[in-house]
Amino acid sequence: MIEDIINKLAELYPRASCALDFDAGYKLLFATRLAAQCTDARVNTVTPVLFGEFPTLEALAAAGIGRLEEIVRSCGFYRQKAHDIKVCAERLILVHGGRVPDNMDELLRLPGVGRKTANLILGEIYGAPAIIADTHCIRLSNRLGLCDTKDPYKVELALKAVVPPDRQVGFCHGLVAHGRAVCFARKPNCEGCELECPQKLLLTFE
């Protein structure tokens, strides 16, 4: 079953990828922080301003917190996000020599970084196996019968157990694409879905 789902998602969304714009590891790290409870589209309008005015880690570390808050305000929770970006930039310089860590333990020690962000960094920047348990991944994994929990860490573990390491990142991007195009949160378009899932089968027999 899981192999069929993986292959079908790859067929349906061959160009599925991270929706956040970035050209450096730390920029993806900070864009992901801004994306918490905010749309990727909104973040992609804010990061050009942020990185245009503060083009290096050093510039971000030295930035005035008030100006950072002003730039990221539209992403919501702007005070905490601005604080995390500034402190994280400082830590990356002082502790990691300006390099984004390549392992889960060190990533999780950075301000504002949880497992979802850490896995995204590991998968996108370092090409490591990674399950990015975002809202789409959690929702679709449950509907597809791949897990029975809304806990992100438990979803991550469940999917790691069944998705081959070299397919994990692409699988997660495929879930996001399918969640945005077909398997909506409130009213999934089961009739237009090419995946088989328990919910769809129940609707078929109603």
Q: What does the block give as tokens for 117? A: 């962000």
Within the chain, residue ranges assigned H as helices are 2-12, 25-34, 40-53, 57-62, 65-72, 78-96, 104-108, 115-124, 135-143, 152-162, 168-181, 198-205
Chain position carrying tokens 């789902």: 5
- The reply to whether 134 belongs to the active site is yes
Length of the chain counted residue by residue? 206
- The reply to whether 23 belongs to the active site is no
Residue among 116, 151, 160, 187 flagged as catalytic: 116
List of residues 6+ apart from 41 with CB closer than 8 A? 19
Report yes or no: 91 and 57 within 8 Å, Cβ to Cβ. no
Residue among 134, 150, 160, 187 flagged as catalytic: 134
Q: What does the block give as tokens for 86? A: 């500034």
Chain position carrying tokens 């328990």: 198
Report yes or no: 65 and 86 within 8 Å, Cβ to Cβ. yes
The residues carrying an active-site annotation are: 116, 134
